[in-house]
Amino acid sequence: MKKIAFVFTQGPHGTSAGREGLDALLATSALTESIGVFFMSDGVFQLMPVQQPEKILARNYIATFGVLSLYDVDQCFVCEESLKTRGLSAGHEWVLNVETLPIAEIRQRLADYDVVMTF
């Protein structure tokens, strides 16, 4: 079975990439258990628990990331450098349990996947 990585690099607002990526991730989880989820660049903002999307007339889908464990998706990682660049810390409360990794290790882990989808 192929190993599939989902890489979130876009912030949650201003583009539908995060919502589309989450939809694809949930659909794929029905087909395989070999899934990894990576949050890099502005994608780290997908993990922020307190957001107010209604103020910009957007749909709130962020909390849905929290149910990934119910879909047996438990390989979730966040880029340490991306957090630091955006003034966030690894000890922050997220909507999802993630392991903080340096960028070099994220690249190494991504190389182990057969398919890498970026949103």
Alpha-carbon distance 35 to 73, whole Å?
A: 6
- What is the reported pLDDT for 7? 98
pTM (two decimals): 0.88
The pLDDT score that the predictor gives to residue 48 is: 82
Q: What is the pLDDT of residue 53?
A: 47
pLDDT, mean of each 10-residue run, the chain (119 residues): 95 83 93 95 87 50 76 95 92 88 98 97
Q: What is the pLDDT of residue 10?
A: 92
83 alpha-carbon distance from chain centroid: 13
Question: What pLDDT is stored for residue 15 in this prediction?
Answer: 79
In this structure, which long-range contacts are made by residues 82-89, counting pairs with CB atoms below 8 Å and at least 24 apart in sequence?
82/39, 82/40, 82/41, 82/42, 82/43, 82/44, 83/44, 86/42, 86/44, 86/45, 88/44
